[in-house]
């Protein structure tokens, strides 16, 4: 790898967003893309452009991190806690989550595993080499291996685990629960990117988190942080237009208030205990909670109390050392 001038990195990152030709070397271009990919391997334009997704083999939106269709078996509502006793019937010996730490859809799966106290090992995937998932034909995250069985797509993973925890319950989604799980995947995620990359300083803050929590070498971390932040700052402006967002923070606050209104005075959407929609919303928001955008959201909307209750209900991580 050749040494790249820091100033040139920023300018080249801007140029590379408008061209698929080599800019600053193929390695640097892949690092920018990989840094964006490290936020989430979903090909949703929330996290990176379709061109970047195609470069990594992501063929269509909402497939990589489980934002595809949900598996629904009944229209009756259900509460996760009502079936917690059934967890004893599902005691996997080995659970491995292949993920990017900052990916919101990976965080959905982690929120579910943490809530149900299912011990799991984390395999942090290098977004450039992807060597950790070379064994799999599926090249996106999250991937969950349960006693050797591969599961993919965050929503499908959660549905399958829920059924195994509750083998006698055919209900995965009630109508309300299904509606709001879809809202999380198809709306809430769209307002996050324009917010976490809203300004140059916020873009750097976001990529500092992404690269410091991801599986990057020191060189990759430095390059990805600055080129990725510069690139996504400009991409976020395009995403605002694409999703008809005029004011990033207003859109984030509106989404937060919409979620609180959906609770209808209940502690959780699931009632006295979280349901799958609660866990989905919590998981998606967890990576931004301590970024400036997340802090502003909690300070300027009513979502803080629900989020705190979710933190308490989900509890400590069930993650174990690999």
pLDDT in tens, 147-197: 999 999 999 999 999 999 988 876 667 899 999 999 999 999 999 999 999
| pLDDT tens for each residue of 221-260 | 899 899 989 999 999 999 999 999 999 999 999 999 999 9
pTM for the complete prediction? 0.75
- The alpha carbon of 154 is separated from its chain's Cα centroid by a whole number of angstroms, namely 9
Domain that holds residue 155: 95-320
Q: Is 114 left (phi over 0), alpha (psi -120 to 50) or beta?
A: alpha
> Does any domain span residue 8?
no
Confirm if 252 and 202 have CB atoms less than 8 A apart.
no
Percent of the chain whose pLDDT exceeds 90:
60
β-bridge partners, 124: 99
> Does any domain span residue 173?
yes
Does pLDDT of 44 surpass 70?
no
118 three-class SS: coil
Q: Average pLDDT, stretch 101-116?
A: 95
> Does any domain span residue 15?
no
Token reading at 164:
């195994």
pLDDT band at 262 (very low <50, low <70, confident <90, very high): very high
Query: Does 142 sit behind a cis peptide bond, omega within 30 degrees of 0 on the bond before it?
Result: yes
Top pLDDT among 63 and 152 is at 152
Question: Which of 49-58, 64-73, 108-117, 161-170 has the highest mean predicted lDDT (pLDDT)?
Answer: 108-117
**Residue of 100, 197, 207, 209 marked active site:** 100
Kindly report the CATH number assigned to the domain that includes residue 264: 1.20.1050.10
Distance CA 20, CA 190 (A): 24
Top pLDDT among 122 and 54 is at 122
Does pLDDT of 135 surpass 80?
yes
**Residue of 16, 106, 197, 209 marked active site:** 106
Does pLDDT of 314 surpass 70?
yes
Identify which of 71, 42, 50 has the alpha carbon closest to the alpha carbon of residue 186. Answer: 42
> Does any domain span residue 72?
no
Sheet holding 319-320, edge to edge: 149-152, 143-146, 95-99, 120-124, 319-320
- Is position 105 annotated as part of the catalytic site? yes
Distances from the Cα of 107 to the Cαs of 25, 165, 197, 207, 221, in angstroms?
A: 33, 19, 19, 17, 21
Give the H/E segment covering residue 151: strand 149-152
Q: Average pLDDT, stretch 291-312?
A: 98
User: Phi/psi of residue 282, each to 5°?
Assistant: -65, -45
**Residue of 16, 40, 65, 103 marked active site:** 103
pLDDT band at 38 (very low <50, low <70, confident <90, very high): very low
pLDDT of the residue at 236: 92
pLDDT of the residue at 196: 95
**Residue of 56, 105, 120, 282 marked active site:** 105
pLDDT band at 28 (very low <50, low <70, confident <90, very high): low
> Does any domain span residue 21?
no
Distance CA 102, CA 224 (A): 14
pLDDT of the residue at 55: 33
> Does any domain span residue 13?
no
> Does any domain span residue 247?
yes
pLDDT of the residue at 70: 39
- Is position 209 annotated as part of the catalytic site? no
Tell me, letter by letter, the H, E, C secondary structure of 54-114: HHCCCCCCCCCCCCCCCCCCCCCCCCHHHHHHHHHHCCCCCEEEEECCCCHHHHHHHHHHH
Give the chain's length.
322
> Does any domain span residue 56?
no
Top pLDDT among 70 and 236 is at 236
How many domains does the chain contain in total? 1
Distance CA 108, CA 110 (A): 5
């Amino acid at each position: 790898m050749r040494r790249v001038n820091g100033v040139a990195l920023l300018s080249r990152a801007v140029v590379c967003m408008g061209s698929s030709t080599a800019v600053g070397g193929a390695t640097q271009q892949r690092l920018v893309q990989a840094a964006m990919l490290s936020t989430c391997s979903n090909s949703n334009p929330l996290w990176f452009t379709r061109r970047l997704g195609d470069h990594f083999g992501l063929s269509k939106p909402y497939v990589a991190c489980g934002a595809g269709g949900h598996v629904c078996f009944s229209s009756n509502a259900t509460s996760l806690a009502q079936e917690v006793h059934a967890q004893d019937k599902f005691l996997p010996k080995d659970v491995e989550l292949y993920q990017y730490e900052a990916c919101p859809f990976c965080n959905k799966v982690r929120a579910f595993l943490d809530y149900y106290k299912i011990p799991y090992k984390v395999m942090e995937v290098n977004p450039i080499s992807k060597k950790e998932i070379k064994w799999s034909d599926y090249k996106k995250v999250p991937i969950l291996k349960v006693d050797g069985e591969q599961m993919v797509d965050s929503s499908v993973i959660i549905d399958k685990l829920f059924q195994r925890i509750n083998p006698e319950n055919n209900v995965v989604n009630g109508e309300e629960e299904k509606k709001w799980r879809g809202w999380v995947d198809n709306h809430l995620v769209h307002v996050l990117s324009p917010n976490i990359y809203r300004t140059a300083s916020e873009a750097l803050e976001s990529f500092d988190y992404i690269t410091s929590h991801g599986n990057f070498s020191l060189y990759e971390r430095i390059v990805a942080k600055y080129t990725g932040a510069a690139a996504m700052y400009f991409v976020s402006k395009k995403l605002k237009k694409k999703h008809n967002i005029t004011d990033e923070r207003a859109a984030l606050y509106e989404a937060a208030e919409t979620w609180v209104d959906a609770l209808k005075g209940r502690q959780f959407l699931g009632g006295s205990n979280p349901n799958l929609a609660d866990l989905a919303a919590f998981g998606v928001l967890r990576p931004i909670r301590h970024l400036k955008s997340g802090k502003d959201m909690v300070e300027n909307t009513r979502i803080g109390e629900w989020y705190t209750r979710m933190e308490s209900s989900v509890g400590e991580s069930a993650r174990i050392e690999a």
